[in-house]
Amino acid sequence: GFAKIDHHRALRRGVPEVIFCQGKTPEQVARITRRMLEKGVNIMGTRADLKVYEEVRKIAPDAEYYKDARIFAVKREKIVQNKGTIAVVSAGTSDIPVAEEAAVTAELLGNKVERLYDVGVAGIHRLFMNMEVLKRAQVIIVVAGMEGALASVVAGLVDKPVIAVPTSVGYGANFSGLSALLTMLNSCAGGLTVVNIDNGFGAGFAAHQINRLGGQADGCALS
Amino acid sequence: GFAKIDHHRALRRGVPEVIFCQGKTPEQVARITRRMLEKGVNIMGTRADLKVYEEVRKIAPDAEYYKDARIFAVKREKIVQNKGTIAVVSAGTSDIPVAEEAAVTAELLGNKVERLYDVGVAGIHRLFMNMEVLKRAQVIIVVAGMEGALASVVAGLVDKPVIAVPTSVGYGANFSGLSALLTMLNSCAGGLTVVNIDNGFGAGFAAHQINRLGGQADGCALS
Amino acid sequence: GFAKIDHHRALRRGVPEVIFCQGKTPEQVARITRRMLEKGVNIMGTRADLKVYEEVRKIAPDAEYYKDARIFAVKREKIVQNKGTIAVVSAGTSDIPVAEEAAVTAELLGNKVERLYDVGVAGIHRLFMNMEVLKRAQVIIVVAGMEGALASVVAGLVDKPVIAVPTSVGYGANFSGLSALLTMLNSCAGGLTVVNIDNGFGAGFAAHQINRLGGQADGCALS
Amino acid sequence: GFAKIDHHRALRRGVPEVIFCQGKTPEQVARITRRMLEKGVNIMGTRADLKVYEEVRKIAPDAEYYKDARIFAVKREKIVQNKGTIAVVSAGTSDIPVAEEAAVTAELLGNKVERLYDVGVAGIHRLFMNMEVLKRAQVIIVVAGMEGALASVVAGLVDKPVIAVPTSVGYGANFSGLSALLTMLNSCAGGLTVVNIDNGFGAGFAAHQINRLGGQADGCALS
Amino acid sequence: GFAKIDHHRALRRGVPEVIFCQGKTPEQVARITRRMLEKGVNIMGTRADLKVYEEVRKIAPDAEYYKDARIFAVKREKIVQNKGTIAVVSAGTSDIPVAEEAAVTAELLGNKVERLYDVGVAGIHRLFMNMEVLKRAQVIIVVAGMEGALASVVAGLVDKPVIAVPTSVGYGANFSGLSALLTMLNSCAGGLTVVNIDNGFGAGFAAHQINRLGGQADGCALS
Amino acid sequence: GFAKIDHHRALRRGVPEVIFCQGKTPEQVARITRRMLEKGVNIMGTRADLKVYEEVRKIAPDAEYYKDARIFAVKREKIVQNKGTIAVVSAGTSDIPVAEEAAVTAELLGNKVERLYDVGVAGIHRLFMNMEVLKRAQVIIVVAGMEGALASVVAGLVDKPVIAVPTSVGYGANFSGLSALLTMLNSCAGGLTVVNIDNGFGAGFAAHQINRLGGQADGCALS
Amino acid sequence: GFAKIDHHRALRRGVPEVIFCQGKTPEQVARITRRMLEKGVNIMGTRADLKVYEEVRKIAPDAEYYKDARIFAVKREKIVQNKGTIAVVSAGTSDIPVAEEAAVTAELLGNKVERLYDVGVAGIHRLFMNMEVLKRAQVIIVVAGMEGALASVVAGLVDKPVIAVPTSVGYGANFSGLSALLTMLNSCAGGLTVVNIDNGFGAGFAAHQINRLGGQADGCALS
Amino acid sequence: GFAKIDHHRALRRGVPEVIFCQGKTPEQVARITRRMLEKGVNIMGTRADLKVYEEVRKIAPDAEYYKDARIFAVKREKIVQNKGTIAVVSAGTSDIPVAEEAAVTAELLGNKVERLYDVGVAGIHRLFMNMEVLKRAQVIIVVAGMEGALASVVAGLVDKPVIAVPTSVGYGANFSGLSALLTMLNSCAGGLTVVNIDNGFGAGFAAHQINRLGGQADGCALS
Ligand SMILES: Nc1ncnc2c1ncn2[C@@H]1O[C@H](COP(=O)(O)O)[C@@H](O)[C@H]1O
Ligand SMILES: Nc1ncnc2c1ncn2[C@@H]1O[C@H](COP(=O)(O)O)[C@@H](O)[C@H]1O
Ligand SMILES: Nc1ncnc2c1ncn2[C@@H]1O[C@H](COP(=O)(O)O)[C@@H](O)[C@H]1O
Ligand SMILES: Nc1ncnc2c1ncn2[C@@H]1O[C@H](COP(=O)(O)O)[C@@H](O)[C@H]1O
Ligand SMILES: [Mg+2]
Ligand SMILES: [Mg+2]
Ligand SMILES: [Mg+2]
Ligand SMILES: [Mg+2]
Ligand SMILES: [Mg+2]
Ligand SMILES: [Mg+2]
Ligand SMILES: [Mg+2]
Ligand SMILES: [Mg+2]
């Protein structure tokens, strides 16, 4: 026996059910997917490798796979779109998988996303050349490993909610992301909040909940 | 010589300048206050004990002191009020100073705040009796020490941005707040973001930035 | 040369000898098993993969294998049954192997076990729908990874001995189970005691020793 | 405002309400005590120094003070007595305050307690001379700092529930109790469960819940 | 008996002998000072509070005290001056004591020092307004607590040796400077090296050794 | 999409662009290399295994591979040579890859390098027999794992900038280099600065920036 | 180039040169071995797997392999034998490789060794049945993982030098041997000293140096 | 009630009973002392401040106080003297209290002690000038804080048992002695064993047990 499925969907309005695939066999994921699909909901699976996706496609041939984000999605319901934009800013090439997990999560939850990658602190001028992306956004997600200083810099430049995602990218005294995590938690730049190391999903989800407060694309009020 | 003062106030519209008083002498704080007051701005000082307040009152007789929050404030400008409400939920009696730091910060930044204290996980029924406070809020701050499980429970009940503040309350394997911090970072309840241990100010500030997305009390648009 | 076998069996009345198979070769486990069987006792092996089981079956064709629990057992003696029931509650799908290690251990030691799986804090309503399982039990084992808050919640609802098992399920600031371990140690809910990360066996064993105090199924007194 | 009081007392049958005094002013503790006393219940306060006790005595002149245990108690209701005995075993002289916190807690909850102090591992023969105390007990609490090895030794000698309390006694690589905590969590002696560093109260409370399973002194059944 | 004195002074050419006063009594410091003065050398004492200074002044009435830096100095020999300048950049008001320890150390070793304080990452524009200080310097010392990101930002802007000094300023997940230390060690900005938490002296000393490579003010060659 | 390339090369005068290959596929590295080569600059890739090198050679047949250093280089521009020498001292055989990363980095940046390997603290006489290498150098890099004491010893013998590189070589309480890192940070020998565990590149880069202060081989001044 | 060989052999009188093979290729080990053999000394290699041994045998056909200890040895000189005996006591089956590393090291250095394995704390009576082994020994090595309490128990029973070796055996809050290491360092049993986690070699070497003080088998005095 | 006294003195032949005074009141120490004196044994108290000593002198007017070592002693029996010498080597002035704890402990247990203080690694030449002290000793105790490298250096120079005592002297990344502890545990110099941070007593005690193996001053054999 395994994962019971949450039937309390009243509040969700198209928000996909989420399966955390890490530590589950492709068969387990497929079985959970099948049971969920019977209710006609949207589904997304995070930390899904290709094998998981292939097993899921046997059950749902319309499943899509976001390779960089390691996410699969099955879309069966329309999802309400939020008005504001979420910016996803990332520091280095190796942080991209986590940044994509955040970006694709936010998109699947009904948000416009603008990506600004490879703007690490060592090359801070690249950030300044793209300030308009930060200005356009309602919420900003900053993804950075190693010393994670990018989050402080961004939050120091803008006056908006910034969600920081430390990544495990780095080596040595990085201690698998601890370094970036502590940097972000200790930031003296106001308005910064933090999620778990490598938790792109959590950042995308929280950014969506914040972005929703700014209203929906079609103007429908938030109850 | 010490703390230079930020004159870039275009974006701030009444938002107070903030002085972090911990590790500063009452005289240092008073001197910073005087220089800031010359510009006619609002001021708040966090981690301020009574001695700091008394020194500040010599410079600004209209300074107010929020004892539980360890905050002083000098109000010289009108501050724009946000429409939505911020709920501050806290677990135990000893968490109140941090909860008050969050609540008073949010109020001074122009937000309505509802407090729901002493609803720790061990007495979870008390949380359920007050669900309407959670429902009314746009953003929720959860303040908890020891095991910090309250944040997960709250985030599991609502579909809104939840900011978790671990406190250093506890002893032994609490390791001065590490326990609550890790609990909150590892929460599997979606939409939870975390600030530093005991950082009530940071949570109040971030909650304000989020709440502002829901519009201002007087209906003025957000540029 | 390796593991000497404990011949002091006076107190044990059917309680199986236990082999911790992790870090031993299938051949080592089989050899220990053979020597134990010469004394006609019950045997159980924990952390046993299929290869271990297959090697053991050559020595004891009646050996049984509990796949999810990673336990094999050879039953040669009758084991005294305790009167009370042990509930094993677990948070997520990935915690099931540890939960099963606890549950099967308790069963092999002569206890009735009721399982209540996938009732993690994020979906707390599922726990409330099954309160009668908690009420029926004499002792409760709670198995949870990530933030481990479930243990606090359960211990806050009941007035019985609760044994918490943190699991290494999670990632990032989970630090291989440290997060859940600290959460559980710092719980402010009374009556909670804790075993090592992933130590389902220890929890099952301790729960058995506690359950035994409530008397045996056949009414025989405890000397 | 502070600590709300739990009025759900149906299940408690004389079990005292508990106040954790650490981090509260004597005045706060006295005020909580007064409100509780209005309901006619028993009260105990842990981590209470003499100043707290003196303030409480103004409200409740019949309050008693257990100096070594740092506990005060106000007894207004009769408490049901359990049949079995709880043994409290401690390693060194400096561990006595924590051992007394456990012992007095258990007594106030209605249990007979036998104390066996200063039987640290370095002088293991002293433990062996007092084996009958261990034999008489239903549940054993072991309190030890420094390396905490005593818990393993005791659990290896008996076939009963053993609750280990690591203390912060020691210095250097003791890391304020971490050493003893890890020792106890890693014990290979079956039936050992662990509470937080210095948490004598938690151990006494859990031991009471276990001891209760063996029946009440007056023979009344447990619903 | 205590600290023997190093008589090997051939290489030193005016470089003061250094006494680390922390953990020594004023009397011990004064006695060490007296013995050193007999050799006619320069002396500096770090981590020296006023009491230490007063005791030293009894022995050396010409001793000077740098209050912010917590350093006393007795100058008896001429010290060779280096040609280049050392910049000391610091993030917040509370980092000033460590910054001054670095700056005064460098000055006493024969270097010109330019100070640029309170240019923390949250107010990054203040750093940009003072870029010419960075440009003028041969070596840069960056002193920062909390998240310590300033060091990365500075090293990303210049192409010179940057020595980072993490400070213990902060609270919570700062873990007494660990956060800033890890940030700095993990910086991806080239040319950054790090000294111990709060080690202003070490940074000043290393910066001096580096600055010396650029030649002496009077043009004398370096053997 | 991935790594943008820095076109700001005014300051660099032949300094190679650097690619950190760890965590990138050979194809990603090759693509970055191709784009960089279009600008006619020098390139070096660190943490590059043979597969990376082979892929790069398809794009740049003149690429060279430094096997022990795990570095590849493509030289298209002349690089200015510094006058002084950098000594790279290492403790044990297993530290050589990190020492070579430092040495080859320094060479590719235009420095003469002298290697002194296998002079660990346990065999300290071997260091003394080679003192002239230390004397000839302007800057010294010390690479050591396990207890890392070599850095202190070297810095105690010389009066020059010493950059310490802790390595992850060792086991047990070495905690993947933490031991050596802490040793080096706590050294009481003046003039020692530290880089991240295993960060040979960072040490070579910083040593180059320092060595440059001593002037260029062809006598050209440093602007 | 790699490991230089120590030619200072005056003091050694047959003591083998030691090669730490972990992290070296079989070819590197063989090359070091060949160079050493030219001087006619004894050699031992620790952490040597079968591949290393096979490569060494090509150079030294008389090389012997101690499989459990993961040690190879080439004996070319006579080694002086110490008079006293070293006891190696170990807790569990999985600790045997480390215990054997200690035992074989001591034997190769010229000591009689008595092994007493599988006498863990959970089965403490087995230790008592073999007290004569402890009594016969001059020095005792105790090897234990998990909670490591055995070292304290042994040191509490005897009045002799006891060297404790924590092993990385265990899981969860064992943190790869940290638990046993801290236990042993905090032991309140006098005369206990500790080596690194899994460092059987270091324990065997130190025990040899101690045992030598008791005199040599042939009666030759120790200069 | 408190500390029971060990009457098993058969093996001890003059070895004093030891009281660990830290965390005990002067009255508690005095009471333990009185009970011990009734048996006519020698007594020593470690971590004893002046107040403890004064209280003890009321009971034993012949008690002596070793101020630097924080030890008091009452000598009533003759103690057997060992033949060999123990050297106590220490790094810095602030390490002296721990070094003295080791030295005085060893003296009170019947050993000749030679002290060699302030020979830290930064001034390594001072160690070399005193090599004859190391040569004369049978056992060497090395006491060092900060980076603790002295222990490795000493053990690399001699071929004798070396006991390393890390001290908590230092600051920042010293983490209260952790740095020195890890350095010493990871030393690659053979024959080094380690005791707890600041545990001078333990080192003195272990050194005595080792030194005893070399025979007694009066030639009496060791049974
Ligand atoms: N990448 C992720 N990181 C953290 N939490 C996740 C992630 N993906 C999904 N989740 C959470 O895990 C829950 C599903 O867990 P499960 O029942 O094990 O599939 C979802 O409700 C999400 O809240
Ligand atoms: N309680 C607090 N915790 C964390 N950060 C704070 C707190 N109070 C103020 N701050 C931040 O500290 C800055 C002021 O620091 P300072 O210049 O040292 O007074 C403010 O701009 C805030 O961003
Ligand atoms: N081995 C290394 N360790 C640390 N940082 C490095 C290393 N190699 C290159 N870098 C830095 O990483 C940057 C390139 O990172 P990337 O854009 O991911 O290739 C370079 O500018 C260097 O500053
Ligand atoms: N400074 C010390 N550090 C560690 N252990 C000590 C110290 N002094 C005494 N001891 C040990 O503590 C025991 C006495 O503890 P106690 O019964 O609490 O006085 C002695 O038998 C010694 O083994
Ligand atoms: Mg901001
Ligand atoms: Mg939620
Ligand atoms: Mg409960
Ligand atoms: Mg037992
Ligand atoms: Mg730079
Ligand atoms: Mg030097
Ligand atoms: Mg002993
Ligand atoms: Mg040696």
- pLDDT, average across residues E68-90: 96
Q: Is pLDDT of E175 > 60?
A: yes
Question: H200-212 vs H96-108: helix axis angle to the nearest 10?
Answer: 40
What local confidence, expressed as pLDDT, does residue C31 receive? 95
Asked if E143 is an interface residue toward chain B (Cβ–Cβ < 8 A), one would say no
What local confidence, expressed as pLDDT, does residue H175 receive? 93
Q: Is pLDDT of G2 > 50?
A: no
Which helix H or strand E contains H194, and what residues bound it? strand H192-194
CA distances from residue C154 to C91, C122, E101 in whole angstroms, order as listed: 11, 14, 54
- Kindly state if the Cβ of B31 falls inside 6 Å of ligand 2: no
pLDDT band at C175 (very low <50, low <70, confident <90, very high): very high
Q: Is pLDDT of E156 > 80?
A: yes
Q: Is pLDDT of B10 > 70?
A: no
Reported as a single tens digit per residue, the pLDDT across F177-187 is 999 999 999 99
pLDDT band at D93 (very low <50, low <70, confident <90, very high): confident
Reported as a single tens digit per residue, the pLDDT across G66-89 is 999 999 999 998 999 999 999 999
CB H186 within 8 A of CB F170: yes
Q: Is pLDDT of E121 > 70?
A: no
- pLDDT, average across residues H77-106: 95
Contact F94 G24 (CB under 8 A): yes
Higher pLDDT, residue E222 or F185: F185
CA distances from residue F136 to A187, F42, F158, F159 in whole angstroms, order as listed: 44, 29, 11, 12
pLDDT band at D47 (very low <50, low <70, confident <90, very high): very high
**In C109-191, which residue ranges form alpha helices assigned H by DSSP?**
124-128, 131-136, 150-157, 178-185
Q: Is pLDDT of B1 > 60?
A: no
Q: Is pLDDT of C3 > 90?
A: no
pLDDT band at G156 (very low <50, low <70, confident <90, very high): confident
Order of strands, sheet of G43-46, starting from the edge strand that comes earlier in the sequence: G17-20, G43-46, G71-74, G64-66
Q: Could you give the CA distance from residue F44 to residue E216 in angstroms, rounded to a whole number?
A: 35
User: How big, in percent rounded to 5, are the helix, strand and coil portions of chain A?
Assistant: 40, 20, 40
Strands E64-66 and E71-74: antiparallel
- pLDDT, average across residues D20-40: 93
Q: Which of B191, E10, F54 is nearest to A209 (CA)?
A: B191
Q: Three-state SS for F46?
A: strand
- pLDDT, average across residues F180-201: 94
CA of A189 to the centre of ligand 5 (A): 6
Q: Is pLDDT of E7 > 60?
A: no
CA angle H137/H140/H141 to nearest 5° reads 145
CB A125 within 8 A of CB A148: no
Tell me, what amino acid is at G152? S
Pick from A3, A181, A199: which is nearest to C93 by CB? Answer: A3
Report chain E's C-alpha Rg in angstroms: 18
Reported as a single tens digit per residue, the pLDDT across B75-108 is 999 999 999 999 999 998 899 999 999 999 999 9
Pick from B3, B178, B198: which is nearest to E118 by CB? Answer: B3
Residue carrying structure tokens 């985030």: B155
Q: Which of H163, E94, E163, D178 is nearest to F185 (CA)?
A: E163
C57 Cβ contact partners less than 8 Å away, ≥ 6 residues apart: C63
Phi and psi at residue H34, in whole multiples of 5°? -55, -45
pLDDT band at F220 (very low <50, low <70, confident <90, very high): very low
Q: Could you give the CA distance from residue C65 to residue C84 in angstroms, rounded to a whole number?
A: 25
CA of D53 to the centre of ligand 6 (A): 43
Q: What percent of chain F has pLDDT over 70?
A: 89
Q: Tell me which residue has its CA closest to atom 6 in ligand 3.
A: F20
User: Please, what's the b/e burial string for E76-95 (b: 16 or more CB within 10 A of its CB; e: otherwise)?
Assistant: eeebbebebbbbbbbbbbbb
**In H13-93, which residue ranges form alpha helices assigned H by DSSP?**
26-37, 50-59
- What are the DSSP calls for E177-211, one per residue? GHHHHHHHHT--STTEEE--TT-HHHHHHHHHHHH
- Kindly state if the Cβ of H47 falls inside 6 Å of ligand 4: yes
Q: Is pLDDT of G219 > 60?
A: no
Which of G141, G210, G212 should be substituted to probe chain H, the one whose Cβ sees the most H Cβ atoms within 10 Å?
G210
Q: Is pLDDT of A223 > 70?
A: no
Reported as a single tens digit per residue, the pLDDT across H27-55 is 999 999 999 999 889 999 999 999 999 99
Residue carrying structure tokens 């029931």: C85
What local confidence, expressed as pLDDT, does residue B8 receive? 44
G129 Cβ contact partners less than 8 Å away, ≥ 6 residues apart: none
Q: Is pLDDT of C88 > 80?
A: yes
Lowest mean pLDDT across E100-104, E154-158, F209-213: E154-158
Reported as a single tens digit per residue, the pLDDT across E28-55 is 999 999 999 998 899 999 999 999 999 9
* C188 neighbourhood in chain B, CB within 8 Å: 91-92, 120-122, 146-147
What local confidence, expressed as pLDDT, does residue F11 receive? 46
What local confidence, expressed as pLDDT, does residue H69 receive? 98
User: Please, what's the b/e burial string for A34-63 (b: 16 or more CB within 10 A of its CB; e: otherwise)?
Assistant: eebbeeebbbbbbbbeeebbebbbebbeeb
pLDDT band at C188 (very low <50, low <70, confident <90, very high): confident
User: Please, what's the b/e burial string for F80-118 (b: 16 or more CB within 10 A of its CB; e: otherwise)?
Assistant: bebebbbbbbbbbbbbbbbbbbbbbbbbbbbbbbbbbbb
Reported as a single tens digit per residue, the pLDDT across F55-96 is 999 999 999 999 999 999 999 999 999 999 999 999 988 999
CA distances from residue C74 to C37, C39, C40, C60, E138 in whole angstroms, order as listed: 9, 13, 10, 7, 76
Q: Is pLDDT of G202 > 90?
A: yes
Q: Three-state SS for C207?
A: helix
Q: Is pLDDT of G10 > 80?
A: no
What local confidence, expressed as pLDDT, does residue A121 receive? 67
Reported as a single tens digit per residue, the pLDDT across B175-222 is 999 999 999 999 988 889 999 999 999 999 999 999 999 999 864 443
Instruction: Give the HSE-up count for residue C119: Cα atoms under 13 Å, Cβ half-sphere.
Output: 24
Q: Is pLDDT of A69 > 50?
A: yes
What local confidence, expressed as pLDDT, does residue C120 receive? 80
Tell me, what amino acid is at B144? A
Q: Is pLDDT of D220 > 90?
A: no
Q: Could you give the CA distance from residue A142 to residue A162 in angstroms, rounded to a whole number?
A: 7
Residue carrying structure tokens 């209209």: B62
Tell me, what amino acid is at B114? E
- pLDDT, average across residues D149-172: 94
- pLDDT, average across residues E162-178: 95
What local confidence, expressed as pLDDT, does residue D13 receive? 55
Q: Which of F45, C105, F61 is nearest to D191 (CA)?
A: C105
DSSP classification of residue D216: B
- pLDDT, average across residues F195-218: 95
Tell me, what amino acid is at C42? N
What local confidence, expressed as pLDDT, does residue D1 receive? 34
Q: Could you give the CA distance from residue C114 to residue C98 in angstroms, rounded to a whole number?
A: 15
What local confidence, expressed as pLDDT, does residue G93 receive? 87
CA of B115 to the centre of ligand 9 (A): 48
- pLDDT, average across residues C65-83: 95
What local confidence, expressed as pLDDT, does residue B73 receive? 98
What local confidence, expressed as pLDDT, does residue G125 receive? 74
Q: What percent of chain A has pLDDT over 70?
A: 90
Question: 0.90 cut: is pTM over it?
Answer: yes
β-bridge partners, F194: E194, F164
- Kindly state if the Cβ of G23 falls inside 6 Å of ligand 4: no
pLDDT band at D171 (very low <50, low <70, confident <90, very high): very high
* C177 neighbourhood in chain G, CB within 8 Å: 172-173
Q: What percent of chain A has pLDDT over 90?
A: 73
Question: G96-108 vs G200-211: helix axis angle to the nearest 10?
Answer: 40
Reported as a single tens digit per residue, the pLDDT across A119-152 is 986 667 778 889 999 999 999 999 999 988 899 9
B132 Cβ contact partners less than 8 Å away, ≥ 6 residues apart: none
Reported as a single tens digit per residue, the pLDDT across C90-127 is 998 899 999 999 999 999 999 999 999 989 866 677 78
Q: Is pLDDT of A2 > 50?
A: no
Position in ligand 4 atom list of the atom nearest CA H17: 21
User: Please, what's the b/e burial string for G91-129 (b: 16 or more CB within 10 A of its CB; e: otherwise)?
Assistant: bbbbbbbbbbbbbbbbbbbbbbbbbbbbbbbbbbebbee
Phi and psi at residue H98, in whole multiples of 5°? -70, -40
- Kindly state if the Cβ of D120 falls inside 6 Å of ligand 4: no
- pLDDT, average across residues D52-63: 98
Contact E206 F185 (CB under 8 A): no
- The neighbour count for residue C134, using CB atoms within 10 Å, is 20
- pLDDT, average across residues E135-147: 95
CB F104 within 8 A of CB F64: no
Q: What percent of chain H has pLDDT over 90?
A: 74
* B189 neighbourhood in chain C, CB within 8 Å: 121-122
Question: A178-185 vs A150-157: helix axis angle to the nearest 10?
Answer: 20
Higher pLDDT, residue A93 or B203: B203
pLDDT band at H206 (very low <50, low <70, confident <90, very high): very high
Q: Is pLDDT of D71 > 90?
A: yes
What local confidence, expressed as pLDDT, does residue A43 receive? 96
Reported as a single tens digit per residue, the pLDDT across B11-29 is 455 789 999 999 899 999 9
Residue carrying structure tokens 């309602």: A138
Burial of D174 from C-beta contacts in 10 A (0-12 / 13-18 / 19+) = buried
* F156 neighbourhood in chain H, CB within 8 Å: 121-124
pLDDT band at A222 (very low <50, low <70, confident <90, very high): very low
What local confidence, expressed as pLDDT, does residue E179 receive? 95
pLDDT band at F221 (very low <50, low <70, confident <90, very high): very low
What local confidence, expressed as pLDDT, does residue A47 receive? 97
Asked if F125 is an interface residue toward chain G (Cβ–Cβ < 8 A), one would say yes
Q: Could you give the CA distance from residue H92 to residue H96 in angstroms, rounded to a whole number?
A: 7
Rounded to the nearest integer, the mean pLDDT of chain F is 89
Position in ligand 4 atom list of the atom nearest CA H3: 17
CB B182 within 8 A of CB A195: no
Q: What percent of chain F has pLDDT over 90?
A: 74
